[in-house]
Amino acid sequence: MSPKRMFPSTPLVKLGDNHFKKVSAFLSRFGSIPDMLELDHVTVSGDVTFGRGVSLRGTVIIIANHGDRIDIPAGAILENKIVSGNLRILDH
């Protein structure tokens, strides 16, 4: 574990339902693995994807409504946030 980590333990990671059950499904949801150096706890449920260079800090809860999707954009920093419902940010 990194000595730069502010918490004395590893982060608690809870991934729900079928979207993260199989390794191939899990890997397809990440542009890159998020930075979790300052993360205490993350819960992710539903159809959620992560762009490249996402940083998770503190406690983060992300819950996509049934039938909806949440795309965390590349470079996003989520610190002590709850994200729910649906969110799609598209380049134009």
Residue 89 has pLDDT above 70, yes or no: no
Residue 12 has pLDDT above 70, yes or no: yes
Q: What are phi and psi of 13, to 5 degrees?
A: -120, 120
pLDDT band at 87, cuts 50/70/90?
Answer: confident
Closest to 62 (Cα-Cα) out of 47, 40, 77: 47
pLDDT band at 42, cuts 50/70/90?
Answer: very high
What is residue 16's predicted lDDT score, i.e. its pLDDT?
86
* CB 36 within 8 Å of CB 42: yes
**Which pTM value belongs to this model?**
0.87
What is residue 55's predicted lDDT score, i.e. its pLDDT?
97
Q: Judge residue 51's burial from the number of C-beta atoms within 10 Å of its C-beta, 0-12 exposed, 13-18 middle, 19 or more buried.
A: middle
Q: What are phi and psi of 5, to 5 degrees?
A: -70, 130
Return the structure tokens found at 7. 């918490």
